[in-house]
Amino acid sequence: MKPSHLAMILAIDCIWACNIVAVKEAVTTAGPLVAVLLRYVVATLVCLPFIRWLPGRMHIILATGLVAGAGFMTLGAISFAVADNLSALSIVGQLGVPFSLILAVIFFKERIRWPRITAIAIAISGAVVMSFDPAIADERLGLLLTVGAALCWAGGNLLFRSLAGVPVLTIHAWLGLISVPVMLAAAWVVEPERLAAIPQLPLSTWGWVAYSAILSSVVGHGGMTWLFQRYPVAVVSPLTLPTPLISVGVAIAVYNTPITGQMLVGGLLTLVGVAIITFRTAQRRDSDAPVEPL
């Protein structure tokens, strides 16, 4: 891998890790539903020039927008609004990886052997260990919502597999167009005061929203898709594993998030399980699909 491309992956890891601050600050000042609405408005405006009609696949686009767009983002935003231990949320959010594999087995009849089966059990057991930590007992609602968001993310991954070949910016444009009216209606019902207060939001909030919409969504996901088109999955996927570790460091540095021994054990189990699944799945995909030349 070229040094510039390696630097690109590490930059994306950092962008995604620091996004926990952007999301937390945005949901705190704007409200979770309004924050998601504004994020999709900004992302849609950026991606709108790339929108294309996709004959025969618009029903998949609609489902993807509802599951991986509005559903995933809403649950994630609310979890950040009701919880303060962002380190725990960052680690539990990694359950999207084993959830994706479980759904692939159920719906695509993907065959897995004992290493990945064991890894799924390890990852989930780590999240269970963390959830019973007395130090974060008040965070359990946030953890549960994060698990729901991870499940939506996993469902979105399966839907994305049916959109192979569609440019990522086209997908993001449609996700925005589908999610904006959904989030607008939800905010109108649940957060009408927050919705009416959008003109009074401080400039810093718009900055956090722009960070999530442009850097995390468009640059991060778009850049990673570009890299996957040029390198084997087994090369790129493992290089995204530092993201949750960086997220924990960011949470500690910015919010002084407490870390207990039980959290360390549970977090380590989850990350080890995710790492095994990532490596094994990447190797399998590379053995099944050709890689585009550089």
Per residue in 243-267, pLDDT (tens digit) is 999 999 999 999 998 889 999 999 9
Is pLDDT above 50 for 293?
A: no
Is pLDDT above 50 for 292?
A: no
Number of neighbouring beta carbons within 10 Å of residue 167: 15
CA distance 12 to 117: 29
SS3 236: helix
Mean per-residue pLDDT, 144-167 = 90
Give the closest residue to 88 by CA, choosing from 119, 131, 122: 131
**What global pTM score does this model have?**
0.89
Give the closest residue to 147 by CA, choosing from 183, 199, 95, 190: 95
Q: How confident is the model at residue 287 (pLDDT cuts 50, 70, 90)?
A: low
Is pLDDT above 50 for 291?
A: no
Is pLDDT above 50 for 101?
A: yes
Is pLDDT above 60 for 78?
A: yes
Q: How far is CA 110 from CA 55, 243, 273, 284, in A?
A: 27, 27, 18, 11
Contacts of residue 268, Cβ cutoff 8 Å, sequence gap at least 6: 126
